[in-house]
Structure 1
Amino acid sequence: MENSRSLALVNAAAQIPIPTKNGNVAYDKDEDHSNISSTDFDENFLFGSGTSAYQVEGGYLKGGKSLSIWDCFSLSNPGGIADGSNGNLACDSFTKYKEDIRVMKQMGFNSYRFSISWPRILPGGRSCFGINRDGIDYYNDIIDTCIHNGLEPFVTLFHWDIPDCLQLEYGGFLDKKVKDDFREFAEVCFWEFGDRVKCWTTLNEPWTYTVMGYVTGTFPPTDRDNLLYGQTSQKELKPIKLPTHRGIIDIGNPIPITMERYSKDWPTVKPAQRPYTVARNLLLAHSEAVHSYRTKFQERQNGKIGIVLNSNWLVPLDPNSDADVKAAKRGVDFMLGWFLDPVLYGKYPDSMIEYVPNDNLAQFSHQEAHQLKGSIDFMGLNYYTSNYASYSANPSKHENYYKDQMVECSPFDKDGKAIGDQAGSSWLFSVPWGLYEHLNYLKTKENMPPIYITENGWSDKNDPKLTPQEACRDTKRKKYYQDHLFYLLKAINELKVDVRGHFAWSWCDNYEWNLGYSVRFGLMYVDFLNNYTRYPKDSAIWYTKFLAKAKARRITSANTKRQHEDDATEESTEVVKKARAA
C-alpha cells in the first residue's frame, strides 16, 4: 500500500492532521511484526492487562455488595443481552484474583488495570448509609497482591456500575446531584487506597456510557422514551436460544421493574437533551473528584489522576471531498473531543457548539470551566478500530446525537471493502495504523498530557463446539497485538508522542456487557462450565516471550539497585565505626 498525503484542517489552535483513506503511513497487513521486543520501549513503560469489576468479579451480593444498574439490567431484561446471561458469577475473579495476578507476574506484566465497584464500597451510594468494610478489605487485598508481585495498580473509579439506589433516587447521571455522590465515593477510595495506588482514573469511556445508555438504549440505564431497564418494547425483542452457561443457570429471580420504583422528583430532561446532560454531569463528577484529590490527597500520596476516553479513528471516505474531510474531523470531535476538550480547555469542541442546538448542549459556567480546565495529569486512550467517515444530512443512526453531527461512519469503503480484518464483534476491525494516526492527532492538541493506551484488544466469537485447546489457537489476536505494538512504537519514535503504557484488553474472557459471553476478548481462555479454569491462549504465550526481555531488565535493574543500597549501607556503617573509634 503506497504512502498517501495528509490533509489538514486549520483551526485557531493548531494544524490538525486528517489522514486520507489509507492513512499517513504505509501498511501491509501481511507484514511480520512478531519480532518486536518489549525492550524497544522505555524501561519505565507500563505493560499490563485490564478488567472491570462487573465484567470479571462475580460475587453477586457477596461481601456486602449492593445492586448496580448492570445487575438490574441483566437480571430484569435478559432479552437485552445477546445470550440472556448476567454477571452474577462472571469470571469468579472475586475468589480467583490472587491466582490471576500471580500469572500476570509470571508472564512479565508490570501493571494491572482494574476498576473498583461503587456498590461494593458504598452499598447505599453514600457513606452516610455506611461504608462496606468487607469491600474495602477486598480491594486492599487486590492492591497488596499487585504490589507484592511487582505490578503497578492502575485503578479506575467508575466503569459504568453506578449503585442502582442512586439511579432510582434521582436518575443517576441525569441529575447534577451525582457529582457530589461520586466525589464522596472517590474520596473514600483515595483515603483507603491512595497510599499505594499512584495511578487513578476517574471515568472509563464516558462516551460509551452516555451513547449506549441514552441514545441507542443498548446499555443501562436505557432511558429513551422515559423507560429504564428495558426501554425496547417486548414485542421488538427477538426470541433467543440461550446457550449453556453457569451465568444463566444461576440467574436467580428476575427483578420486576415498574415505573412506580422511580422517584417523581426526577429532573425533566427532553430526549434530545439527555445524552448531553448525562455527558455534562459525568464531566462535572470527574472534575469534582480530581479537585478533591489534588487539594486533599495528591501532595501527601504523590499519585497521578486522569480519565480514560475511547475513540475510533476516522478517515474520510472520499479524501478529495472537503465535506468528508470535515466530517471525519467532526466525528472525532463528537466522540473524543466531547470529553477531551473540556478537561483540557474547559469547553466543548467548536464543531459541537456549532452543530448541536443551544438548548441541548448547555455550556459550562465560569467556575465549572475553571475547575475542568487542565483536570487530568494523563489521558487513557482506549483504541480498538477505525472507520470511514462521510458527510450525511440524514445518518442511518438518525437520533439526536447522531443526527446532530451529520456524519455517517462505516468500516467499509465505497467498493464494500473492509478497512481491516474483522473480529468476532461486528464493530471491531484490525486497523493498527489508525492508532498511529490517532496519536499523531493527539500530539497536536495543545497542553496534551502523557498518554496511556488503556485498552486495546481483539474479540473472537464464542464457539461452544471448540475445546479449550482449540479455542486457545488465537492467531488473529496475536497478530493484532504485534501490529498495534509496532505502530505504537513507531508513533513514539517518529512522532515523539509521550505514551507511557499499553494495556491489553482483556486479561481473561469476561462478561462483554450486552453481548454477554457470546464473544471472548481474553488473553486467557476461561472455561465457564468447569470451575472457571484459565488456560493461556497463543496470544498469552507470545506476550510472555515479548515481555521476557523487559522482565529480565527489571530484575537486573532491581538487583543493581539493591547492590548499590547494600554498598551504601556498608559504607555508612564503616563511617560510623571510624567516627566512634575516633
Structure 2
Amino acid sequence: MKFPIQNLILFWILTEASNAERYPETKAIIQELTQKYNFKFGVSSSAFQIEGAWNESGTGETMWGRYTIDYPERIPDHSNAHVACDSYHNLERDINMLKFLGVKFYRFSISWARLLPSPILHDGVSQEALKYYHNLIDQLKANNITPILELFHYDMPKSVSDLGGWTNAKIIKYFVHFARIVFDNFAHKVDIWVTINQSDNTCTLHYGSDLFPPVIDESGVAVYLCIRNMLLAHARVYHLYKNKYNLKNKGIMGIITKLDWYDPTTNSTEDLEFIKTFRKMMYGIYSDPIFSEGGDYPEIVKETVAKKSKQQGFHVSRLELLTKDEVKYIRNTSDFFGLSYYTRVRIYKNPVEEKTNLEPQLEFKVKVPSFFDDMNYYVASRDPTWKPTEISRIMDSPEGLKNILLYIKHAYNNPKVFILENGCGTLHDTLYNDGCIEYFKGHLNAIYDAVVNEGCNIHAYGMWGLMDNFEWESGYTHRFGLFHTNFSDEKRSTKPKATAYFVKEILDAK
C-alpha cells in the first residue's frame, strides 16, 4: 500500500520527534532563560472556549452563549461552544496534555455564570462547579504546574450583560462580589491571579462594534465607559485581594492587555511623529492609568477626545475623566504587566488615503464619532516583507514582539512582564502545523534578545492555546491548539501536533 509523501513526513514527525533533537538552538536559549533568569513557560486557555457543559451544574446563560444561538450566521461554521472541548468532563485528559508538554504554569479562567448561576449579588454558589475547579487546581499543583487563575475572559453572565455589562458602573460591584467568592474558595491554593483578559479587546470589540456580543455599536461613548469601569473594577479587586486575602504576601495579581505593534506606512518625519503619538494613545489609554508614574489617561487622549467631542456637537467630552482619588486608587494596581501579543499592524494617518491590498479581516469601516476615529486607527495593507501565517491577520514578524517589550520597558520603568498569550493557528484541521513552529521559534528568539541583550524584565511566556477550541467569532475554523481536538468524537479526544512535540523537546519534558 502506497502512502502520500506528506503522510510519510507527518508520520516521521509525530513518531520520531520525541526521540531526536530537532531544535537544539531553541532548546539552548530556553535552558539559559530558565536557569539564569528564572523564566517560566506555560500555556493558556479560557473557560468558555474549552469547558462545554453549557447547561449543567445549574450554569447560567452567558453573553457569548446567547450570541451564538441568536446569530449563528455570524460564525463561519455556524458553531457554538455548548460542548466545545468538553473540558468539564475531561480533567484527566487536560492534565495529561500539560504533563506531556512539560510546562510550568497553566493560565485558565473561571466561568462566572457557572460558579454563580445567579450572578447579581447572590451567594448561591454551584457546588459542582466548585468541585471541578478545586480538582483542576489540585491536579495542577500535584503535578508541579502553577495555576494562574483568571477571573474574566471575554464572556460574562447574560443577566449582567443585559444590564449594560462593562458600560454600567454597577458591574464594579457585581465583579467584586464574584471575585470575593472566588477568593473565599481558592485564594489559599492560588498565588498568581489575573483580573481581566485583554481589557482593550473586551472594550473595543464588544462595545465598539456590533459584530460581537452584546451587539451594540456605540464606540464613541461605550468604549470609554467600558475602559473606565474596567479599570475601577480591576483596582477594587486588586485592593480587596491584597488587603484581605494575601495577608502572607505570597500572591501576585495583574491584568492582561493585548498590544499589537503598530508601524507607519512610510518613514517620513510626519509619519514617524504620527505613529509615536498613536502608540502613546492606543497603548496608554489602557496601561498608563495603572503603570505610568503619574497614572491617569494620557494627556493627548484627553485633549483629543475633548476636542473632537466639541467639534461633533457634544456638550461634554465623550471620555469621562478619572477623579484625582480614582487616579490614585488605580495607579500601581498590578504586580506584573500581563501581555498578549500576536502580530504587527501598519496604519496610516490620513483616512482618505487609498487602501490597497487589504486583507479581508482588516477591512472595516471607521464610524464618526468612534473610539477608532479618535485614535486615528486606519489599517493599511501589510508590509510585503512581513510573512503572514495561515491566519492572514497574524504576521510572523517577531521583531514586533521585541519592539513591544522595549516599549513597555521604556514607557513604564521596566516592569515585570508576563507574556500570557502568544499564538499561531492554521485554517485547516491538521496535526502538521510546522509553520507555527517557525512562528514560535522566532518569537522565542525575540524574547531571548529582549531579556539577555536589552535587559527587559520578562518572567513568563504562555502559548495560546492548549488545544483546538472555540475561537470566538471564528468558531472552529481557526485551529490554535498545540493539541488537535477531534470535534467529531463525542469524547473530544486529542492528539499532539507538531508544535506540541516542539514544546516538549525545548522544555525537555521526559
Q: TM-score surpassing 0.5? A: yes
Find out whether 1:321 has 2:289 as its counterpart. no
Show the counterpart of 1:83: 77
Instruction: Give the SS at the match of 1:62.
Output: coil
* Counterpart Cα distance in 2 of 1:133 and 1:336: 40
Amino acid at match of 1:343: I
Distance in 1, matches of 2:87 and 2:222, equals 34
Contact 2:204/2:219 (<8 A) preserved: no
2:366 aligned to 398, 401, 407, which one?
398
Aligned amino acid, residue 379 of structure 2: C
Query: Once the 2 structures are TM-superposed, how far is the Cα of residue 511 of structure 1 from its aligned partner?
Result: 0.3
Provide Cα deviations, 1:396-441, integer angstroms capped at 9, x if missing partner. Answer: 632211111223233523xxx2x52222323111111111111111
Q: 2:317 aligns to what SS in structure 1?
A: coil
Letter matched to residue 293 of structure 1: Y
> 1:173-572, aligned counterparts within 5 Å?
173-224=166-217, 272-300=220-248, 302-322=250-270, 324-345=271-292, 346-357=295-306, 359-393=317-351, 397-399=365-367, 400-413=370-383, 417=384, 419-463=385-429, 471-530=430-489, 531-548=491-508
Residue identity opposite 1:380 in structure 2: G
**What is the 5 A alignment of 1:51-62?**
51-62=45-56
Residues 216 and 427 of structure 1: CA distance in aligned 2, closer, same or farther (over 3 Å): farther
- CA distance in 2 between partners of 1:271 and 1:35 (Å): 45
Superposed displacement of residue 390, structure 1: 2.2
Q: Give 2:31's match in structure 1, choosing from 28, 36, 39.
A: 39
Post-superposition CA distance 1:351-392 (Å, at most 9, x none): 312222361111111221111010100111101000123212
The CA distance in 2 between the partners of 1:211 and 1:435, in whole Å, is: 21
Cα deviation, 1:187-221, whole Å, max 9, x if unaligned, reads: 11112111111110100011111111122222211
Mapped partners of 1:90, 1:214: distance in 2:
25
* Residue type at the aligned position of 2:298: P
Contact 2:72–2:79, Cα closer than 8 Å, also in 1? yes
After superposing the two structures, state which structure 1 stretch, 366-375 or 442-451, moved more: 442-451
Is the contact made by 2:206 and 2:212 (CA closer than 8 Å) also made in structure 1? yes
**CA distance in structure 1 between the aligned counterparts of 2:365 and 2:288, rounded to whole angstroms:** 24
Amino acid at match of 2:337: M
Contact kept in structure 2, 1:36 and 1:486, CA below 8 Å: no
SS at match of 2:494: strand
CA distance in 1, matches of 2:76, 2:352: 28
Are the aligned partners of 1:115 and 1:156 in contact in 2 as well (CA < 8 Å)? Answer: yes
Rounded Cα–Cα distance in structure 2 between residues aligned with 1:460 and 1:434? 20
Determine if contact 1:56/1:91 at 8 Å carries over to the other structure: yes
Deviates further, 336-345 or 505-514:
336-345
TM-score normalised to the size of structure 1? 0.76
**CA gap 1:386/1:289 in 2 versus in 1, 3 angstroms:** same
Tell me: CA distance 1:426–1:356, structure 2 relative to 1, closer, same or farther (3 Å).
farther
Q: Percent identity?
A: 29
Structure 1: which 5+ runs fail to align?
1-30, 225-269, 464-470, 553-582
| Aligned mates of 2:151, 2:24 — CA distance in 1 | 38
Query: 2:408, 2:415 within 8 Å by CA — same for their partners in 1?
Result: no
Structure 1 residues 212-242: Cα deviation after superposition (integer angstroms, max 9, x where no partner): 1122222211212xxxxxxxxxxxxxxxxxx
Once the two structures are TM-superposed, the CA of residue 394 in structure 1 deviates from its matched residue by 5.1
| Contact preservation (8 Å) 1:86, 1:511 | yes
Report whether the alignment pairs 1:154 with 2:120: no
Distance in 2 between residues matched to 1:533 and 1:330, nearest whole Å: 48
Moved over 3 A (4+): 31-37, 393-397
The alignment partner of 2:79 has SS state of coil
What letter is aligned with 1:409? Answer: V
| Structure 1 residue 520: Cα displacement | 0.2
Contact 1:341 1:348 (8 Å CA) reproduced: yes
1:166 aligns with one of 155, 160, 163: 160
- 2: CA distance between counterparts of 1:278 and 1:223? 13
Offset, 1:286: 0.7
Q: CA deviation at 1:36?
A: 4.4
What SS class does the counterpart of residue 468 from structure 2 fall into? coil
Secondary structure (helix, strand or coil) at the match of 1:314 reads strand
Change (3 A) 1:334 1:116: farther
Distance 1:105 1:304 in 2: 24
Tell me the secondary structure at the aligned position of residue 300 of structure 1.
Answer: coil
Aligned to 1:97: 91
Q: Give secondary structure in 2 for the equivalent of 1:503.
A: strand
Per the alignment, in what secondary structure is the counterpart of residue 511 of structure 1?
A: coil
Give the direction of change, closer, same or farther, for the CA distance of 1:35–1:109 in structure 2 (3 Å limit): closer
- Counterpart residue identity of residue 305, structure 1: M
CA distance in 2 between counterparts of 1:73 and 1:462 reads 25
Partner amino acid, structure 2, of 1:387: V
Name the counterpart of 2:5: none
Secondary structure, in 3 states, of the residue corresponding to 1:42?
helix
Q: TM-score, normalised to structure 2's length?
A: 0.87
Query: Matched residue of 2:378: which SS?
Result: strand
Give distance in 1, aligned partners of 2:114 and 2:331.
Answer: 31
- 1:48/1:112 contact within 8 Å kept: yes
Which AA in structure 2 matches 1:365?
A: T
Q: Measured at CA, do residues 36 and 383 of structure 1 come closer, stay the same or move farther in structure 2, by a change above 3 Å? A: farther
Return the letter of the residue paired with 1:412: R
Residue by residue over 1:339-359, the C-alpha shift from the partner in whole angstroms, topping out at 9 and shown as x without a partner, is 111112431123312222361
Deviations 1:171-196 (A, max 9, x none): 11111010011011111111211111
Counterpart contact for 1:450–1:498, Cα < 8 Å: yes
TM superposition shift of 1:81: 1.3
In our comparison, the structure showing a higher alpha carbon Rg is: 1
Unaligned runs of 5+ in 2: 1-22, 307-315, 354-363
CA shift in 2, pair 1:133/1:327, >3 Å: farther
Q: Quick one: distance in 1 between partners of 2:493 and 2:280?
A: 42
